[in-house]
A and B are shown apart, each in its own frame.
Chain A
Amino acid sequence: MIVEEFADGDSLIHRLDPRVKIIVAALFSTIVAVSDRFRVLLPALIIGLILIMLSAVPVKKLFMRLVPVNGFIIFLWLFLPFTFDGEPLFAVGPLVATNEGVYHATRITLKSNAIVVVLIALVASTPVFALGHALHELRIPNKIVHLFFFTYRYIHVMHREYLRLVNAMKIRNFRPATNIHTYRTFAYLVGMLLVKSHERAKRVYNAMLCRGFRGRLYSLSRFSLKSIDVISFILMLAVILGLAVLE
């Protein structure tokens, strides 16, 4: 259930230096998030789709990911067209939708999807451990990077523990419903997860001390900027600059 779906491909984008990908994705998201014009947002979405094609992400999986992202956007569509002042466009009963409202909602939809698509193409296509080391190289504080590694590593372990507990509940014929018994059971489930995590943390830390842990994690792979990294970095910077100028 918790898997890096897009990380294990082999494409031009998968082979790029993670540091380049993080910086480009961050700059791109920022520019798109602050821009407000269609002539920026449309090209941004197209650039995102081009990157997706380059990264050879399966289209079906991509759509599966875009559905929950757009849930919040659809929620906003229920309100925005009607709450903006401006030229009336159409009316549903007493509610009047305005041109400006529809424009604004469209802008948000474009922005959101452009950013998420680029995030999938560039960042989700990188293995989490490579990302962690890249963040370290980018001078993110050590403690955050370590916390990132530990949390990611143990999400899977805790998820397996969770599934085990849920299985035990099912075997005892637990059926969730809207009643006190259900809520109490879920509370115990959460409590048990925390207890298990605490006990495991103690064991893990002791095991790390036995192996000489002194507050540093070492990466076996070294990042090196190849010419393809530099070229794509400059190319993407130029594109982002172009978007900024358009705005």
Chain B
Amino acid sequence: MHISEGVLSPGVLIAGAGLTAAGVAVGLRKLETKEIPSVGILSAAFFVASLIHVPIGPASIHLILNGMLGIILGWKAFPAVLVGLALQALLFQFGGITTLGVNTLNMAFPAVVCYYLFGWGIRIGNRRLVFILSAFAGGSCAVFLGSVMVGLSLYLSGEAFLPAAKVVVAAHLPVMVIEGGLTAVCALFLRRVKPELLEGAYVPKQSS
């Protein structure tokens, strides 16, 4: 889902950077100083989890997990994704300085959208079916929305990118299903083992 340096037009880059700056500002306002270690270690876990390759037929895909990230962190997903992508640019040279804004937006915005759309279903304590469906929807919609935004960033940079943009979205359709299923199973697991992680999504002030 990373867009390389030098592909997008200046307008798209500037818009992406501006919107990401706004998102990060909101995220930082919600992020208390004492939460920084928790959010940092959690983003490290997501960073590592996104290196996991899952087989699908003869090929394999790496996990994105921005749905799960959104469900757990809400608006704090913005700073978390920003830092994660900056480290990926540093350590692996995926993406870079000028695309940091657009790439962060494409991953973190769907995370926040899914937090608002499906967070309530995770919150309802005893409705198992609603819980599973919300988690699945959160995981798959985050990936779908993300791929649409990647496609849109390409398309807005030039009409000639349209076929490539369509292929990006199409290629993410199977990923969407897998991510949704994975997110649902993972959320069920967390509900049994560590429910406070999921509650962190709607109780921003955790007492420590």
Q: Is B one of A's binding partners?
A: yes
Are the C-beta atoms of A84 and B194 separated by less than 8 Å?
Answer: no
User: Shortest Cβ distance from A117 into chain B, in angstroms?
Assistant: 9
Of B3, B98, B182, B184, the contact of A115 (CB 8 Å cutoff)? B98
Given the known A-B contacts A65-B93, A162-B48, A205-B34, are A190 and B63 also in contact in the complex, defined by CB atoms under 8 Å? yes
30 cross-chain CB contacts under 8 A: A29-B5, A29-B96, A30-B97, A32-B6, A33-B6, A68-B93, A72-B2, A79-B167, A83-B164, A84-B160, A108-B6, A119-B96, A123-B90, A147-B36, A149-B40, A150-B44, A151-B43, A151-B83, A155-B47, A158-B41, A182-B55, A186-B54, A191-B186, A194-B186, A198-B196, A198-B197, A202-B208, A204-B37, A205-B37, A206-B208
Bound: A65/B93 CA distance, A: 7
Query: Which of A101, A120, A191 neighbours the largest number of chain B CB atoms within 10 Å of its CB?
Result: A191
Check: B19 CB closer than 8 A to any chain A CB.
no
Q: Which 5 A-B pairs have the closest CB atoms?
A: A150-B40, A111-B6, A187-B185, A154-B44, A197-B45
Inter-chain CB contacts under 8 Å: number: 250
Which residue of chain A has its CB nearest to the CB of B99? Answer: A33
Interface size, chain B (Cβ < 8 Å): 74
Q: Are A69 and B37 in contact (CB under 8 A)?
A: no
A157 at the binding interface (Cβ < 8 Å): yes
Interface centre among B3, B31, B63, B164 (most CB of A within 10 A): B164
| Chain A residues numbered 197-218 whose CB sits less than 8 Å from any CB in chain B | 197-198, 200-202, 204-206, 208, 215
Q: Which residues on B sit within 8 Å (CB–CB) of A141?
A: 28
The reply to whether A115 and B5 form a contact with Cβ atoms under 8 Å apart is yes
Does A80 touch B at the CB level, under 8 Å?
yes
Known: A104-B158, A202-B208. 4 other contacts (CB 8 A): A79-B163, A111-B7, A147-B31, A188-B189
The smallest beta-carbon distance between B31 and chain A, in angstroms, is: 6
1/0 per residue, CB under 8 A from A, across B74-97: the answer is: 000001101110110111111011
CA distance A110 to B36 in the complex (A): 39
A1, A146, A152, A189 pick with most chain B CB within 10 angstroms: A152
B178 on the A face (CB < 8 A): yes
The answer on a CB contact under 8 Å between A143 and B181 is no
| A149–chain B nearest beta-carbon distance, Å | 7
B interface secondary structure, majority: helix
Q: Write the residues of chain B forming the contact surface with A, with a CB cutoff of 8 angstroms.
A: 2-8, 10, 13, 24, 28, 31, 33-34, 36-45, 47-49, 51-52, 54-57, 63, 65, 68, 72, 79-80, 82-84, 86-87, 89-94, 96-98, 158, 160-164, 167, 178, 181-186, 189-190, 193-194, 196-197, 208
Shortest CB-to-CB span from B98 to chain A, Å, is: 4
A215 touches B33 (CB 8 A): yes
Q: Is the CB of B178 within 8 A of A4?
A: no
With a cutoff of 8 Å between Cβ atoms, the chain A residues found around residue B72 in the complex are 194
Q: How far is the CA of A65 from the CA of B7 in the complex (A)?
A: 18
* Min CB gap B123→A, angstroms: 18
Total interface residues on A, CB under 8 Å, equals 86
In the complex, which residues of chain B have a beta carbon less than 8 angstroms from the beta carbon of A201? 37-38, 40-42
Whether the Cβ atoms of A159 and B28 lie closer than 8 Å is: no
With both beta carbons as reference points, the residue of chain A lying nearest to B177 in the complex is identified as A183
Q: How far is the CA of A212 from the CA of B82 in the complex (A)?
A: 28
| Structural contact, B6 and A195, CB atoms closer than 8 A | no
Min CB–CB distance A47 → chain B (angstroms): 15
Judge whether B164 and A190 touch: CB under 8 Å.
Answer: no
